[in-house]
Structure 1
Amino acid sequence: MFNPVAKRPGRGEGGPVGRVGYETGTATDEGEPGLERLAREAGAVAGESRCCLNIPQNSLTIAALLPGNEATDSAIQGVREAMRSTEESAALASHQYFVDCYFSEEKYPEESKVQPPTVVIAIIARNTAHSLPRSKGQLHLNESVKATALPPSSSSCVPPPPPPRRRLSVFSLAATDHNADNSTAMLKEWLTVMQKYYHYVEWRPMEQPISYAGELGPKHWTNTRYEHVMKLKQAALNFARKRWADYILYADTDNILTNPETLNLMIAENKSVIAPMLDSQGAYSNYWCGITPQGYYRRTAEYFPTRRRHRLGCFPVPMVHSTMLLDLRKEGMKKLAFYPPHEEYSWPYDDIIVFAFSCRAAEIQMYLCNKERYGYLNVPAKPLQTLEDDRLNFVHVHLESMIDGPPMHPSRFVHMFPKQRDLMGFDEIFLINLRRRTDRRDRMLFSLNELEVDVKVVDAIDGNALNSSEIKILGVDLLPGYYDPFSGRTLTKGEVGCFLSHYFIWKEMVDVQMDKALIFEDDVRFQANFKRRVLRLMEEVEQVDLDWDIIYFGRKQVNPGKEGDVEKVYNLVHADYSYWTLSYAISLQGAQKLLNAEPLSKMLPVDEFLPIMYDKHPNEDYKSHFPNRNLQAFSASPLLVQPCHYAGDAQWVSDTETSTLWDDDNVRTDWRGSHKTLKGSAPAPEMLSSAYRDEL
């Protein structure tokens, strides 16, 4: 039974209709059951309500009063019938009762967003002044979890702005203990500025001593050092637990997280212990796929498919290290510890192995994620290596990162000394680049700056922009009978432009009497320790007074087995037939010999012309047009540069292969059918039958 206890609003009153409550009772004053009376009167109420308060006919709702009750169903039916009757609505207009109603057009506030998680970042550094600025610069991007508006990484050298203040704690265990470099000052400089962006920063420097007892060098790991690092990591873990942090991120300061979403992505995986797979030189990374019963590394079939990203996902592994995220919300995480080692621990005394054992003892599975590219890490230096060796290794990691991504942004809050560039003993170093290929120019200039190599940019001749009149004015004509040895096509406009670009550098050398120069094309990938190896090679060449005209630094070998070593000069061979002119050193007499051959009037690709001039080209007809084939050609072995990309790669671009014929703009060409642009050594052209060439 119901007794109406609220008054119906009068005409013209605004707001939601009704908001009337009902009290239950045994019967109304007249003894009539409340629901029956409601059914009798509701029609008039509804009719008046529609007139006075603009109630939509189908918006009256009382179905939730007493679900399943016959009286309720009867009342509802009565309401529906009454709402169809306009005659009864006038008769019941004087009644003071009406039905409680709510309408869809009433606005409700939305639920507020969930706060970002609390993340403690443990920063442990020792002798990493060469990587600290970029490690901290990339950390900006990952600290700004999606709610913040940091711009994505770009090729710009301008570092991103600092993240806004958020619920983030940084626990800085800057292991400046035993530092022989400037790590302490750098990290302090960064923390001084950045502390205002975090809720809490703990700074633990140790100025002295600068080495551990018994260590063989600044990168040597003694048991004392292992123990100290384990204590620092445990202190960071205790700090995070004390502040009820959701996560703790461990990231070595020679690990660079170039993907700004790394932290978000790891959190989204919802794993107790997870690491993003980091790239480096060779096969090294921050995980093991197998571990022996004694705690040593074990080779497995899964490692290389994972490392090369032939299989993608998040995989259970027995070991992750260097950079990893711990989810402290999980129940089992209470049992984890870095120090002291587990009471049953008998494996090698190493901080990463101790933690892997702790996870196993706590029945916590480690995971590795390689779904995307997250960043890079430096290969650990050997005990006897110097800080300079470690710096050069990191420079190479940085150069590799720019092959498929932007540069690693240094933090603008850490002072960096300008690079001291030089010419490595050459009179000039040239970089050939098409002006429209600005991405290549930027990457090469940034890379050479990292290598501290000074360079002069030469705007390449864009063959695709040349017309037939310009080609004739330059005196260019095709070598009679020339065809590409594999595809069968003739010379392309792109190859004409490439040849002219090299030709004008040779001419400049002769005009100004340069003793020696180094030439780069703009699609070069530098090998590790490039500058150091060039300096050593050229020093040995001078010491033995070698008569040389050209020394290849980068090319594609065709017959490596035919190339003999040069006496008294390490890593130098006599060059045989090869493709590409990625990079080479050239002497003044070598440039003069090339110009004397008058190659413009009998042009073929420049990488075919050079082997002719040192008499190693397999085609006798081509060689007959150049009688003075006395160029003294050598090559670095192993090579010092490689192409950035090969034919078929997603980012591969060729302005020589993908072009038009030199004398016919209507005939388009591409790389298909040419072994020159494919990865790996190529068979000599005379080894391919015409039938095989046709199939290509």
Structure 2
Amino acid sequence: MVRLAAAVALVALAMLACADGQRKAPTVMVAILVRNKEPYLPFVLSRLSELHYPKSRMALWLRSDHNQDRSLQVLEAWLAEYGSSYRSVDAVLNATTPPLRSDETSAIHLSPSRYRAVITLKEEALAAARRLWADFVWFLDADVILHDSTVLQRLIDMEKPLVAPMLRSHGAYSNFWAGMDQDFYYKRTERYPVIYKHKEQGCFAVPMIHTCVLADLRLVGSDGLTFVYSKMAVPRGPENDDVITFALSARQAGLEMYICNQEDFGQVPIPLEPPEVVSKERLNIVNMKLETLLEWPPLPVVPALRRFLPPPVEKTTLGFDHVYMIGLARRQDRRQRMLASFDELGIDAEVVEAVDGRQLNDSFLSERGIEMLPDYRDPIRDRQLTFGEIGCFLSHHGVWQDVLAQGHERVIVFEDDVRFQPYFHYQLEQLMDEVEALRLDWDLIYLGRKILHSNEQWVEGARRLVRPDYTYWTLAYALTRRGAAKLVREQPLRKMVAVDEYLPIMFDRHPNAVWMDHFRERSLLAFSASPLLVHPIKYTGEPGYVSDTEDAVTIGACVAGSVDQHTCS
């Protein structure tokens, strides 16, 4: 009776016209299947609550069973708070099912009975949307982290029969296929990275979309959509794959599938595979939260669900004596992002106020005896040092001096414009375990850098360490007290080069022999993580890229009058 009443209400709403002639928002049924998604649900449901779309035009269809975590409790708490805001709620939350089905070996095992259950439930959802006369049905996975609160309205406005926002992951995995082989399975194509990496932007017809799919049920062809192999007009492809069957049914119905990548719409985790376990989802959500911070505010959680969040991570210095983070005071956006990242990763770091190149001038350098290396010219831009590069060098130099003053034996130094690789904490731990196992004698280990040569040599017996060649950037590195002493002892402020030129000079791998001759003790024992553990937030030339070192006034420019004097003040 409840479902019938909801259907009647939706039909009545669809038939009524507003007095001023404006159209009402289309009706949308949101279908979500949930199993062992507790780490994601507070964020997924909070974002659903905050979508900029009228809840009175949305119906919820939720199913959950065979859980080993608190997924049911999260759903119940959310529905108790927000369920009444929606046009209707059809929720079956089964607390009596066992953790595993009879043919499952683990909670992530995609057994035949599990495939059959998913196919059955999705087909039921599709039928429910049709009974409700919903204009659209939105199949939304319970681990999709959406960034844009207008995404539903934007998908509707794209006016595509079947459409999905492109979701990224911490690998190359996404929610679309750009190719399908003759057996209807995934086919690697050159088109995929073009779409995934935003080399072209827009909505693209593709053979497969999944995970976050909006289907327009107003189209006549939508009657042919199905997840059940036997219900297709001409059964084709594998019988037990819901997403392939749905895609093939759309093809038979003459309905194109589209993936849209105009912006960073959201994220999806890479599916777990045996022998991985469900507990790894807690690590995956941390990765996704860190990626969110690169472009968006921290993921919101509505008050009703905050009790389901894990307790704050206990902060440590990652097995080192100290952790430094260098950042400009005027770059509060970067600082807050880094501090939020440290909170997620459990890193106890000291914020070091970077020397701001905007506050420097030629007189400042002269008063402190800071001199540029004779005949120094940037090897790429053919210019002198900028005040930003000088400020950067002074910032790192100050950290090296502090390491010596405090007597730290091993430290990590971060800059404030880094993105962390997934599972950073554990990768760093494995890296340092390898350093210990090899009994490596080291002064500096790059954790993030720009690799300029591809023929670097592996450390003998290592799986995670290489001997770096000429290298740019000082994004992050581990440093010993002996290494700091070597870097300071050469008095680099009297013959300054860019800091990322200085380090290769000091480990004797710089291509400019004339520059190297100015430094006598080039004995820094330098190594690098491989793969790297951090990368820059933005690369040169990418939208939004800003450099406080490169895009600054050069030495002597103010004296020479080659720039506006206001810039020099």
| 1:499 CA drift (Å) | 0.9
Match of 2:119 among 207, 219, 230: 230
Report how many aligned residue pairs link the two structures: 540
Match of 1:673 in 2: none
Q: Deviations over 1:366-419 (max 9, x none)?
A: 333334432222222223222344443443344334334444333433121233
Q: Distance in 1 between matches of 2:247 and 2:445?
A: 50
| 1:667 CA drift (Å) | 6.3
Match of 1:457 in 2: 351
Match of 1:566 in 2: 459
Q: Distance in 1 between matches of 2:154 and 2:562?
A: 43
Q: Alpha carbons of 1:668 and 1:457: their partners in 2 closer, same or farther (altered >3 Å)? A: farther
- Letter aligned with residue 395 of structure 1: V
Match of 1:640 in 2: 533
Alignment of 1:444-593 (within 5 A): 444-561=338-455, 563-593=456-486
Q: Distance in 2 between matches of 1:255 and 1:485?
A: 45
Q: Distance in 2 between matches of 1:350 and 1:272?
A: 21
Secondary structure in 2 aligned to 1:560?
A: coil
List structure 1 runs of 4+ shifted beyond 4 angstroms.
666-670
Match of 1:136 among 26, 30, 45: 45
Greater Cα offset, 611-620 or 304-313: 304-313
Q: Deviations over 1:265-285 (max 9, x none)?
A: 221233332222222234322
Contact 1:137 1:412 (C-alpha < 8 Å) held by counterparts: no
Q: Distance in 1 between matches of 2:438 and 2:187?
A: 47
Q: Alpha carbons of 1:386 and 1:466: their partners in 2 closer, same or farther (altered >3 Å)? A: same
Match of 2:496 in 1: 603
Contact 1:462 1:497 (C-alpha < 8 Å) held by counterparts: yes
Q: Deviations over 1:612-664 (max 9, x none)?
A: 22222233332233222221111111222222222222211111111122344
Q: Alpha carbons of 1:509 and 1:341: their partners in 2 closer, same or farther (altered >3 Å)? A: farther
- Letter aligned with residue 41 of structure 2: L
Match of 1:125 in 2: 34
- Whose RCO is larger (CA < 8 A, sep 6+)? 2
Contact 2:236 2:248 (C-alpha < 8 Å) held by counterparts: no
Contact 1:661 1:669 (C-alpha < 8 Å) held by counterparts: no
| Counterpart check, 1:651 vs 2:544 | yes
Match of 2:174 in 1: 285
Match of 2:566 in 1: none
Match of 1:199 in 2: 87
Secondary structure in 2 aligned to 1:116?
A: coil
| 1:550 CA drift (Å) | 0.5
Contact 2:49 2:82 (C-alpha < 8 Å) held by counterparts: no
Match of 2:24 in 1: 115
| 1:506 CA drift (Å) | 1.2
Is there any run of 5+ residues in structure 1 with no aligned partner, and where? 1-108, 149-164, 671-696
Secondary structure in 2 aligned to 1:367?
A: strand
Match of 1:182 in 2: 70
Alignment of 1:344-359 (within 5 A): 345-348=235-238, 349-359=240-250
Q: Distance in 1 between matches of 2:381 and 2:160?
A: 53
Match of 1:409 in 2: 300
Q: Alpha carbons of 1:356 and 1:618: their partners in 2 closer, same or farther (altered >3 Å)? A: closer
Secondary structure in 1 aligned to 2:124?
A: helix
Match of 1:44 in 2: none
Q: Alpha carbons of 1:431 and 1:179: their partners in 2 closer, same or farther (altered >3 Å)? A: same
Match of 1:425 among 319, 324, 335: 319
Q: Distance in 1 between matches of 2:439 and 2:536?
A: 31
Q: Distance in 2 between matches of 1:496 and 1:508?
A: 18
Contact 1:402 1:443 (C-alpha < 8 Å) held by counterparts: yes
Contact 1:659 1:668 (C-alpha < 8 Å) held by counterparts: no
Match of 2:57 among 167, 171, 174: 167
Contact 1:172 1:202 (C-alpha < 8 Å) held by counterparts: yes
| 1:262 CA drift (Å) | 1.6
- Letter aligned with residue 342 of structure 1: K
Q: Distance in 2 between matches of 1:289 and 1:594?
A: 50
Q: Distance in 2 between matches of 1:290 and 1:647?
A: 31
| Counterpart check, 1:298 vs 2:187 | yes
- Letter aligned with residue 386 of structure 2: T
Secondary structure in 1 aligned to 2:412?
A: strand
- Letter aligned with residue 338 of structure 1: F
Alignment of 1:327-346 (within 5 A): 327-339=216-228, 341-342=230-231, 345-346=235-236
Q: Alpha carbons of 1:283 and 1:537: their partners in 2 closer, same or farther (altered >3 Å)? A: closer
| 1:465 CA drift (Å) | 0.4
Q: Alpha carbons of 1:481 and 1:574: their partners in 2 closer, same or farther (altered >3 Å)? A: same
Q: Alpha carbons of 1:624 and 1:359: their partners in 2 closer, same or farther (altered >3 Å)? A: closer
| Counterpart check, 1:309 vs 2:198 | yes
Secondary structure in 2 aligned to 1:540?
A: helix
Greater Cα offset, 483-492 or 120-129: 483-492
| 1:433 CA drift (Å) | 0.7
Q: Alpha carbons of 1:320 and 1:668: their partners in 2 closer, same or farther (altered >3 Å)? A: farther
Q: Distance in 2 between matches of 1:473 and 1:518?
A: 31
- Letter aligned with residue 319 of structure 2: G
- Letter aligned with residue 179 of structure 1: N
Q: Distance in 2 between matches of 1:224 and 1:448?
A: 42
Q: Distance in 1 between matches of 2:248 and 2:379?
A: 59
Secondary structure in 2 aligned to 1:638?
A: coil
Q: Distance in 1 between matches of 2:560 and 2:100?
A: 68
| 1:112 CA drift (Å) | 4.7
Q: Alpha carbons of 1:443 and 1:293: their partners in 2 closer, same or farther (altered >3 Å)? A: same
Greater Cα offset, 316-325 or 338-347: 338-347
Q: Deviations over 1:324-359 (max 9, x none)?
A: 112222333334333474265352211111222333
Q: Alpha carbons of 1:656 and 1:667: their partners in 2 closer, same or farther (altered >3 Å)? A: farther
Contact 2:361 2:387 (C-alpha < 8 Å) held by counterparts: no
Q: Alpha carbons of 1:552 and 1:290: their partners in 2 closer, same or farther (altered >3 Å)? A: closer
Q: Distance in 1 between matches of 2:376 and 2:203?
A: 53
Is there any run of 5+ residues in structure 2 with no aligned partner, and where? 1-17, 564-569
Q: Distance in 1 between matches of 2:454 and 2:192?
A: 31
CA RMSD of superposed structures (Å): 2.5
Match of 1:614 in 2: 507
- Letter aligned with residue 465 of structure 1: Q
- Letter aligned with residue 332 of structure 2: T
Match of 1:400 among 254, 275, 291: 291
Contact 1:660 1:667 (C-alpha < 8 Å) held by counterparts: no
| 1:668 CA drift (Å) | 9.3
Secondary structure in 1 aligned to 2:445?
A: strand
| 1:462 CA drift (Å) | 0.4
